[in-house]
Amino acid sequence: MLHIETIADLRSACDRARSDGRRVGLVPTMGFLHEGHRSLMRAARATCDFVVVTIFVNPLQFGAGEDLDRYPRDLTGDLAQCEQVGVAAVFAPSVAEMYPSGRPLTTVHVEGLTSDLCGAARPTHFDGVATVVTKLFAATGSCTAFFGRKDAQQLAVINRLVEDVNLPVQVVGCPIVREPDGLARSSRNAYLSLDQRRAALALSRALQAAASAAIAGERDPSALVDLVRGLVATEPTVALEYVEVRSAPELARVDVLDGEVLLAIAAKVGETRLIDNVTLTVRGAEVHADLGTTELRSEGVRQ
């Protein structure tokens, strides 16, 4: 496995792979890898011949007072995990390599999709995401890039970025990976105490209850939002930031459940900000609820 630290070496490695007829897969991460990341690597390996994992804690996507300095890092462990999965190369640059002049004068902004949901609480976050992802795409070149659906708004932003700028990248959204008890996998879960982790389960339980209500026939988005709010409120240490039902992938507000919609949630458990979601596909009386590792359907529950 190659351990690459410069953009020039990353570009050369990917160019060589393509010249040899190999398909390049890209898995961008901020490190401190877990099973969610490993599932992206496996998905990339299933369809691509040369898989690159990037590990970079991007300062541009952290706002003032956020957890940039304490964000969990374990490069040695991350490299071992990548090698175990069979990744061809890991790109782990320094901040100076990615931003040699300091904070860049050129950034990337995706209008509309970034103004609310997570963008309301983190107004500079998605510009930082779009900027670093554009740089990674530019360095990698033509590829298939794999992202988790837990970050649903991020996935929508990246898809629109690729479409608007005509980047030679195919974006693949991969299912949410959950802990056995339902908690969505996240590097930030490491911040949670045992009591906070138990309280955090209110998020996935509320989403599952809302999905079950939709399967039972509920089509009013506000009713699902009220259901989620009520269930989360039973955990006093969970501070709800938002619960929203939006169309997917446009993230527009909806008046009734129809087609593909996203029920998204963000909350703070202690000082830790967590996000989660469920995708509901509604076709008349038939509903499919995709929570990732657990799927609910109109005809019952399937694990």
Verify cis geometry, omega within 30 degrees of 0, for the bond prior to 249: yes
- Mapping DSSP onto H, E and C, the string for 210-244 reads HHHHHHCCCCCHHHHHHHHHHHHCCCCCEEEEEEE
Helices (H), the chain: 7-19, 35-47, 75-85, 95-98, 118-121, 125-140, 152-165, 194-215, 221-232
Neighbour count for residue 83 (Cβ, 10 Å): 12
CB 2 within 8 A of CB 44: no
Catalytic residue among 3, 34, 37, 288: 37
Written as six digits, the tokens of 302 are: 């399937």
> How do beta strands 238-247 and 143-148 pair?
unpaired
> How do beta strands 50-55 and 89-91 pair?
parallel
Written as six digits, the tokens of 141 are: 């070149």
Return the axis-axis angle of helices 221-232 and 194-215, rounded to nearest 10°. Answer: 150
Q: Which residues pair with 27 in a beta bridge?
A: 53
Q: How far apart are CA 183 and CA 95, in angstroms?
A: 31
Residue 125 annotated in active site: no
Q: List active site positions.
A: 37
